[in-house]
Amino acid sequence: MAKQEKYIVGLDVGTSKICVVVGEIKQDNNLDVIGIGTAPSAGLKKGVVVSLDKTIEGIKKAMEEAELMAGIEISKVFIGISGNHIKGFNSRGVIGISAKQQEIFKDDIERVIAAAHPAGMPADSEIIHVLPQEFKVDDHEGIMDPTGMTGRRLEVNAHIVTGSSTAIQNILTCVHKTGLSLAGKVLVQKANAEASLTDDEKEMGVALVDIGAGTTNIAIFERGSLWHTAVIPVGGYNFTNDIAIGLRTPIPDAEKIKKKYGCVLGSYLDEEAMFEAGGVGSPKKRLVPQTMLVEILQPRAEELFSLVHQEIKKAGYEGVINAGLVITGGGSLLTGVTEIAELEFDRPARLGKPMGIGGLIDVVSSPAFSTAIGLIKFGMSAEVMPGQDQEAGVKKVFRRIKNFFLADYI
Ligand SMILES: Nc1ncnc2c1ncn2[C@@H]1O[C@H](COP(=O)(O)OP(=O)(O)OP(=O)(O)O)[C@@H](O)[C@H]1O
Ligand SMILES: [Mg+2]
């Protein structure tokens, strides 16, 4: 098999599924999906690894499938990092520009971004991303690239994303024990945004809501940059559980019913429509009206979007989401989800499917693949902190920061 060269591989280890996507960089710099592998995920709870063995087994399976389809040997992956240990906060860095020099050079930009790093990190916590939002040169605000400008004082606002070192290390251990090396680690919200959001939405202000199995991840973008991230511990599993309890049916049956008939809004239904459901401990099937499913699922969807709304209000970003909401993740596939979001927020909402890629798009054209596709798109733009290689020291930190900057603004 050909060795991985002009290929970029994304590994999304989710709570319900593990997904490997192989992208090939074409000569025209477009990205084609040439391989996909998926496997059920049994070693995670709410986005965090709780069993190394089960996770490694799932990664191997998904990887073998993707390798076979792509006809390459995978050696390096961009991995998505998620879970409620992730913290995001905004920080500011300020530096002076010498009177002699006056003009702002790339080195100054590296220095000011380094100045935005938090002074001390809590124990068991590490930086995943430092994402510049905007620069200020003397009194001029909202500058995207200050290179070549003249001024005496340079400021940057940056979004800092941190996570628990233990949680991150556990997922990286799974990667290494599968025989893979790390190309980069990427916050899942950032990866998702790469795949699902347009530049206009990011510019105008948008809330990206990823309804996974165990969690719902929120990211707020405005003026082209990430400003806020949050995780709500409710996801597709809660909807499945509600069906299992409400219809007294086993979880695997409830999951199948949800995927086939799941709907959160009565206006989509024919009042007479029925479906079959099995009982717990009994093979006998009953006929259940679909309206009953809406009665079970609608309150959960309303509760979820009310929690998302509260979180966005609390963080002070309600006023910036002018482009509305983009909803992604497998949980967004319940019929009527966008309407429930629109009712809660009184703003437009759409489903976020992966965009801007070629190749096997039919296979991955679902909100459930947004993170995996986003990982390869993100990898291509090299906007990643290659935190696991051995080179250390300030110089290295500066080079990484430069990479962020180059990727974001040039
Ligand atoms: N057609 C569908 N209709 C309704 N729900 C669906 C459908 N397909 C998948 N889901 C639900 O989506 C959830 C999985 O979504 P996704 O694949 O985005 O999660 P994940 O990445 O594995 O988990 P997480 O992001 O929480 O770690 C499951 O709860 C599943 O039941
Ligand atoms: Mg996910």
* 1-10, 44-53, 148-157, 199-208: the lowest-pLDDT one: 1-10
CATH number at residue 301: 3.30.420.40
Cβ contact 22:74 at 8 Å = yes
Closest atom of ligand 1 to 368 CA is 18
E strands along 26-179, which residues? 31-40, 44-45, 48-49, 72-73, 76-81, 87-96, 125-137, 140-143, 153-164
pLDDT at 337 over 70: yes
Q: What's the mean pLDDT in 273-287?
A: 82
Instruction: Give the CA count within 13 Å in the CB-facing half-sphere of 236.
Output: 27
Residue 70 counted as domain residue: yes
Return phi, psi of residue 386, to 5°: -75, 70
Residues 214 and 347 in one domain: yes
Return phi, psi of residue 13, to 5°: -95, 95
Closest atom of ligand 1 to 366 CA is 8
pLDDT at residue 5, rounded to an integer: 55
* 41-50, 266-275, 379-388: the lowest-pLDDT one: 379-388
Q: What's the mean pLDDT in 127-154?
A: 93
pLDDT at 283 over 90: no
Residues 53 and 182 in one domain: yes
pLDDT, averaged across the chain: 89
What is the C-alpha to C-alpha distance for residues 218 and 312, in angstroms, rounded to an integer? 9
The residue to which tokens 């290929």 are assigned: 7
pLDDT at residue 382, rounded to an integer: 62
pTM: 0.89
Residue 115 counted as domain residue: yes
Q: How far is the centre of ligand 2, averaged over its atoms, from the C-alpha of 167 (Å)? A: 16
How would you classify the pairing of strands 153-164 and 181-187? unpaired
pLDDT at 325 over 60: yes
Tokens of 279: 């009982």
Mutate to test the pocket of ligand 1, among 333, 334, 340 (most ligand atoms within 8 A of CB): 333
CATH number at residue 399: 3.30.1490.110
Distance of CA 38 to the CA centre of its chain: 17
The residue to which tokens 């973008």 are assigned: 221
pLDDT at 141 over 90: yes
Residue 239 counted as domain residue: yes
Residues 204 and 250 in one domain: yes
pLDDT at 390 over 90: no
Residue span of the structural domain in which 288 resides? 199-353
- The full length of the chain comes to 410
pLDDT at 373 over 90: yes
DSSP state letters, 203-268: HH-EEEEEE-SS-EEEEEEETTEEEEEEEES--HHHHHHHHHHHTT--HHHHHHHHHHH-BS-GGG
**Closest residue CA from atom 5 of ligand 1:** 331
Tokens of 398: 């500066």
Q: What's the mean pLDDT in 196-210?
A: 97
Residue 387 counted as domain residue: no
3-class DSSP state of 88 = strand
Residues 17 and 34 in one domain: yes
What is the C-alpha to C-alpha distance for residues 61 and 218, in angstroms, rounded to an integer? 29
pLDDT at 361 over 80: yes
pLDDT at 403 over 70: no
Residues 341 and 297 in one domain: yes
pLDDT at residue 348, rounded to an integer: 98
Q: Which of 243, 172, 194, 216 is nearest to 379 (CA)?
A: 194
Q: How far is the centre of ligand 2, averaged over its atoms, from the C-alpha of 227 (Å)? A: 20
Q: What's the mean pLDDT in 7-30?
A: 94
Residues 207 and 327 in one domain: yes
At 282, which helix (H) or strand (E)?
Answer: strand 282-289
Which residues are CB-contacts of 179 (< 8 A; sequence separation ≥ 6)? none
Residue 300 counted as domain residue: yes
Q: What is the pLDDT of residues 338-355, one digit of tens each?
A: 999 999 999 999 999 999
Cβ contact 144:225 at 8 Å = no
pLDDT at residue 228, rounded to an integer: 95
**DSSP state for residue 76 in the 8-state scheme:** E
Residues 144 and 212 in one domain: no
Residue 176 counted as domain residue: yes
**Closest residue CA from atom 29 of ligand 1:** 236
Q: What's the mean pLDDT in 81-102?
A: 90
Closest atom of ligand 1 to 188 CA is 25
* pLDDT band for position 148 (cuts 50, 70, 90): very high
**Closest residue CA from atom 3 of ligand 1:** 259
Percentage of the chain lying above the pLDDT 90 cut: 77
CB atoms within 10 A of CB 14: 26
- Cβ neighbourhood burial of 314 (10 Å; 0-12, 13-18, 19+): exposed
3-class DSSP state of 65 = helix
Residue 385 counted as domain residue: no
Mutate to test the pocket of ligand 1, among 258, 298, 327 (most ligand atoms within 8 A of CB): 258
Residues 250 and 275 in one domain: yes
Q: 8 forms bridges with which residues in the sheet?
A: 23
* pLDDT band for position 397 (cuts 50, 70, 90): very low
Q: Which amino acid is at 155?
A: E
Domains held by the chain: number: 3
pLDDT at residue 156, rounded to an integer: 97
Ligand 1 neighbourhood includes 334 CB (under 6 angstroms): yes
pLDDT at 410 over 60: no
CA angle in degrees (0–180, nearest 5) for 88-92-94: 155
Q: How far is the centre of ligand 2, averaged over its atoms, from the C-alpha of 214 (Å)? A: 8
What is the C-alpha to C-alpha distance for residues 220 and 23, in angstroms, rounded to an integer? 27
The dihedral region occupied by 141, where left means phi > 0, alpha psi between -120 and 50, and beta the remainder, is: beta
- 36 or 384, higher pLDDT: 36
Ligand 1 neighbourhood includes 329 CB (under 6 angstroms): yes
Residues 288 and 209 in one domain: yes
Residues 366 and 238 in one domain: no
pLDDT at residue 98, rounded to an integer: 87
pLDDT at 314 over 50: yes
* pLDDT band for position 280 (cuts 50, 70, 90): confident
pLDDT at residue 118, rounded to an integer: 86
Residues 156 and 62 in one domain: no
Residues 294 and 237 in one domain: yes
